[in-house]
Amino acid sequence: MNLKSNSKQILFIAFLCLSILGFSQTNRKEQKIIKAVDAHSEDAINLIKTAVNINSGTMNFEGVKEVGRLFQKELDKLGFSTQLTNGDAYGRAGHLIATRKGKKGPKFLMIGHLDTVFELESPLQEYTMLNDSIIKGPGVADMKGGDVIIILAMQALKEAGVLDDMSIEIIMTGDEEKSGSPLELSKKDLIDAAKRADIALGFENGDNNPKTIVVSRRGSTDWKIKVTGNPSHSSQIFTEEIGAGAIYETSRILNEFYLQLAKEKDLTFNPGFIIGGTTLNPDGDSTGGHAFGKTNVVSQETIVRGDLRAVSLNQLTKAKATMKKIVSENYPKTNAELIFSAGGYPPLTLTEGNTKLLNYFNTVSQDLGFGSVTAVNPRNAGAADISFTSGFVDMAIDGLGLTGGGGDHTVNESGNLNTVARQAKITAVLMYRLVNLKL
């Protein structure tokens, strides 16, 4: 048995004991953490505003790097070893990585991202205050607010004198909203960090409800169906020589997808576009195209593109197998091919460890007077970087970021600044307790 697997077993036993004994109420160190968050909250909010006003749409590489440098400076002050990586190999800006090696306890991985969906041509470029607490702006919730919550929690732990005990790796990716290619290079730093970690904490904004935390996220992969049939005069359709044509075969496939898979809990498969006819001219960016056909000609070709979202690797594997079987059972004189894209976002599979970590988070939230926290319905949690930790860490939760708003990925994206201190306090106290287990 290697050292990491042995340490993971010890950590699991420790957490099991902790779940029986429960967390204690806040102690003096935790009170210092809480006071430190309050002391730095105004600066944190100003940092959010500064970051939001820097355009960091994924393809604006210089803007992504500028946000990375902004956060790097803050983490340098806290004694982290930091670097901004070069993303040329996968066609993106690169990532911010910050590390500290502590003396005891589990190894934490904290996940954020620097980029947003708001490119330079977006009409939303700066923040505005809708009232004294609700801020609207590009990437304010998804997820510059979450990045700053990470920094604020680290400041509080340092000021309370407990940060040196902790082993922490922070990764803020530069391409969460539009992943670089190849994906194995784009996500390599994140996956390598997950292999070193015991616990992963993600600071996306979940479902914009501070009373919920993500313990499971659906993964996403794209698919394409190409169908061919025998072209002929329409009067010959369904004959032994001509068969059913490409469009009928395509409709059979999609209908069977619906009949056999639509009732599977938390599974979705959406055909985003379809073109068919005698000849096709698909667009180079795979977002559509043109078809030529006539009402009196049996269709020769169709193309369908869509995505598949599953809540676990097992569910994803089974769904793919069902789809492949359906596609293989062709109508007469037709042929169909189903192609799944390489890569994609894996699911964050629900595990016993994730559920336990949610319970610990919930206990801290209640101890600090913020009330109970429950799990997000995975149908309300899209793909995110934390999914790449699945299978590597003992415990993972997401949705710890700035929340209480809405309109993600639209010009109405917003968040409640009152949740900044709340989320930072729960995060920092949770990490302190996990490092200082009293069994």
Decide: 297 and 234 in contact? Cβ < 8 Å: yes
- Is the confidence at residue 16, as pLDDT, over 80? no
What pLDDT score was predicted for residue 26? Answer: 67
Q: What is the CA radius of gyration of the chain?
A: 25
pLDDT tens for each residue of 343-398:
788 999 999 999 999 999 999 999 999 999 999 998 887 778 999 999 999 999 99
Q: Determine the straight-line distance between the first and last CA of the chain, rounded to whole angstroms.
A: 25
Instruction: Judge whether residue 7 has pLDDT over 70.
Output: no
Indicate the pLDDT class of residue 5, thresholds 50, 70 and 90. low
Q: 200 CB contacts (<8 Å, ≥6 apart)? A: 108, 109, 110, 111, 194, 386, 389, 393, 395, 396, 397
* Separation in Å, CA 45 to CA 71, 137, 415, 439: 13, 13, 12, 37
Decide: 266 and 315 in contact? Cβ < 8 Å. yes
Domain ranges within the chain, ordered by starting residue? 3-217+348-435, 220-340
Domain 220-340 CATH assignment equals 3.90.660.10: no
| pTM score of the predicted model | 0.84
Q: How large is the average pLDDT for residues 152-175?
A: 97
Q: In what order do the strands lie in the sheet with 199-202?
A: 81-84, 96-100, 167-173, 107-113, 199-202, 395-397
Q: Tens of pLDDT along 286-302?
A: 778 899 999 999 999 99
CATH architecture of 3-217+348-435: 3-Layer(aba) Sandwich (3.40)
For residue 428, the model assigns a pLDDT of 98
Label residue 21 by pLDDT band (50, 70, 90). very low
Q: Of 338, 433, 347, 325, which is closest to residue 398 (Cα–Cα)? A: 347
Dist. CA 364–CA 427, nearest whole Å: 9
Per-residue confidence band for 100, with pLDDT thresholds at 50, 70 and 90: very high
pLDDT in tens, 207-258: 888 899 999 999 889 999 999 999 999 999 999 999 999 999 999 999 999 9
